[in-house]
Structure 1
Amino acid sequence: MRKAIAVGLVALLAMYFLGGMSARHEIFPWPQLSQLRKMVGAEKAVAPSRYTFDDKERLIGDESKTAVTCPTQTDRTAVLLILGQSNAANEGGQRYRSNYGARVVNAFDKQCFIAASPLLGSTDTKGEYWTLLGNKLIASGQNDSVILAPLAYSGSEVARWATGGDLNPVLVDTTKQLQDSGYRITSVLWVQGEKDLVMSTTADAYQKRFMSMVDTLRQHGVAAPVYISIASKCLEPSN
């Protein structure tokens, strides 16, 4: 008798659970277990980023930026066009901000913002040293105001900056925006070459493509000197 009762209970339980599963989990405790699983296993919502990027991953928006009136250029204003790859972009290990308020600004898209890492106009969201340079130029008494106009893409080879490269039109557009804002570029700062070392670009090919970029600047009214940075080789052979 007991054996028959036990078999009957097992059969009832089996029918209950199998029935619950076959009924699209609508019988207790399946709905509750399903909800619990969703609560425990649910992915954490991704926090909204303060940053906005364009289709080439260049930083074009940062909610933390402080917009200011663009300073009027005088003979004591440095307008720096910053070009190159990661060492010129926002890939630095240290962040800086203007020690002089609106006297050191980040110019981007015909607007000005108090300079602070990361700078609008380049890729990545880490640190950079251009804001520090602006602080030092003012501290030294060499300049009264500094306009930083970054346009640097991590991992970009020189061919992308030359005529026919995908970054050449962006260079032209950035130059035009500065000119439309009433700025005359006083220095062009070039920090690039690691990518071409990895790609084994020859010296002749590099020079030709680099001069093509310089010609683009000259053709669009930029007469400023172009300063080429010499980077040290460190860590890995590719660097």
Structure 2
Amino acid sequence: MFMFLAAFQLQSSECLAFACSEKSIFILAGQSNMAGRGGVAKGTWDGCVPRECRPDPRILRLNANLVWEEAREPLHAGIDTSNPCGVGPGMSFANLVLERDPCLGVIGLVPCAFGGTNITRWKRGSELYNRLLTRAYAALQDGGKIRAILWYQGESDSTDETRAKMYKMRLIEFFLDIRRDLASPALPIVQVALASDVGPYFEVVREAQLRTELPNVVCVDAMGLEVKENDTLHLTTSAQVQLGKMLANAFLRIGI
């Protein structure tokens, strides 16, 4: 059914050949809950990988050196250096998307999230914005198509009244800018409404996320997902698995 297309360099120095028409690329951006802190306690990841986050040779990640390798947890290792990374939503997302739509062939995950970042640090021209673009362009070098951006950010903005009130405007500006710079005006964006009540303006940020009305921008609501008892900010491993599934279902409903 598929034609042999390419071999990708893996971290183990082996090459795997994949049969597919093109790589389906997903950009993962935002702050620590996108990067993943599931299973991290006292600065150490417990190493537990849920079945839904298992590696698959059809799921690749673009590593810190802009080289494709087989994806595995922690997906943001070497990318988010703000704190130790653990389980995030990316692998359960990719596994479910492939299960539901195997014709996607190969999924290329492009981790870009960085912990503790407010929305102004993602403004066009900023270091994180430019890094996202650099990684996205690198992901496209050997073919493929960016299918969506997965975005989970906002906890840092909920602690400041001015940032919270300006969040919706800045978020929309970010979405429009990144679509323009990726030359994809209808690029699907699946964002997450906050689960963690970390700041006094939490509801202001959540309302902005839930009411972002742009074509092909959908929001999944993380409220109710389990948050770690020891820090009240980060999702547990099981919650990250569930979030990945929610993101996958939302992306598949967009139908692009």
Normalised by the length of structure 1, the TM-score is 0.62
- Residue number in structure 1 paired with 2:254: none
1:168 equivalenced with 2:129 (yes/no)? yes
1:126 maps to which of 71, 74, 86: 86
Q: Secondary structure at the match of 2:161?
A: coil
The 1:106/1:96 distance shift into structure 2, 3 A limit, reads farther
Deviation at 1:185, TM superposition (A): 0.7
Q: Secondary structure at the match of 1:155?
A: coil
Any conservation in 2 of the 1:85–1:191 contact (CA below 8 Å)? Answer: yes
Any conservation in 1 of the 2:28–2:110 contact (CA below 8 Å)? Answer: yes
AA partner of residue 115 (structure 1): A
Q: Secondary structure at the match of 2:126?
A: coil
Structure 2 CA distance for aligned equivalents of residues 164 and 145 of structure 1? 31
- Residue number in structure 1 paired with 2:71: 115
Any conservation in 1 of the 2:55–2:72 contact (CA below 8 Å)? Answer: no
- Residue number in structure 2 paired with 1:230: 193
Structure 2 CA distance for aligned equivalents of residues 69 and 122 of structure 1? 27
Q: Secondary structure at the match of 1:82?
A: strand
Structure 1 CA distance for aligned equivalents of residues 141 and 180 of structure 2? 16
Which sections of structure 1, spanning at least 5 residues, go unmatched? 1-63
Any residues of structure 2 matched to 1:1-239 within 5 Å, and which?
65-66=11-12, 68-69=15-16, 74=21, 77-93=23-39, 95=49, 99=54, 101-108=56-63, 109-119=65-75, 120=77, 121-123=79-81, 124-142=84-102, 143-203=104-164, 205-223=166-184, 224-234=187-197, 239=233
Structure 1 CA distance for aligned equivalents of residues 61 and 191 of structure 2? 21
Q: Percent identity?
A: 22
Normalised by the length of structure 2, the TM-score is 0.58
The 1:111/1:82 distance shift into structure 2, 3 A limit, reads same
Any conservation in 2 of the 1:90–1:126 contact (CA below 8 Å)? Answer: yes
Larger Rg: 1 or 2? 1
Structure 2 CA distance for aligned equivalents of residues 235 and 156 of structure 1? 14
Deviation at 1:150, TM superposition (A): 0.8
Any conservation in 1 of the 2:133–2:182 contact (CA below 8 Å)? Answer: no
Greater RCO structure (CA 8 Å; 6+ sep): 2
Structure 2 CA distance for aligned equivalents of residues 107 and 206 of structure 1? 29
CA-atom RMSD in angstroms: 3.0
Q: Secondary structure at the match of 1:185?
A: strand
Deviation at 1:90, TM superposition (A): 3.1
AA partner of residue 95 (structure 1): V
Deviation at 1:201, TM superposition (A): 4.0
Any conservation in 1 of the 2:25–2:139 contact (CA below 8 Å)? Answer: no
Q: Secondary structure at the match of 2:93?
A: helix
Any conservation in 1 of the 2:116–2:156 contact (CA below 8 Å)? Answer: yes
Any conservation in 2 of the 1:65–1:114 contact (CA below 8 Å)? Answer: yes
